[in-house]
Amino acid sequence: TVTPTSGLVTTEAGGAASFSVALDSRPIADVTIALSSSDATEGTVSPASLTFTPATWNVPRIVTVRGVDDDLDDGDVAFTVTLAAASGDPLYDGIAIGPASLTTADDDTAGIVVAPTSGLVTTEAGGAATFTVVLASRPTAAVTVVLSSSDTTEGVVSRASLTFTPEDWD
Average pLDDT on 16-26 reads 97
- Strand spans (E) along 4-142: 8-11, 16-21, 31-37, 43-46, 49-52, 61-67, 77-87, 100-105, 112-115, 132-135
- Please check the confidence at residue 14 and state whether its pLDDT lies above 90: no
Note the pLDDT of residue 77.
95
Note the pLDDT of residue 139.
93
pLDDT tens, 79-110? 999 999 999 999 999 999 989 999 999 999 99
Confidence class for position 111, pLDDT limits 50, 70, 90: very high
Average pLDDT on 43-63 reads 97
Please check whether residue 97 is in contact with residue 83, taking contact to mean a CB–CB distance below 8 angstroms.
yes
Note the pLDDT of residue 126.
87
**Strand bridging mode 161-164 / 143-146:** antiparallel
Handedness of CA 122, 126, 130, 133 (dihedral sign): positive
pTM over 0.95: no
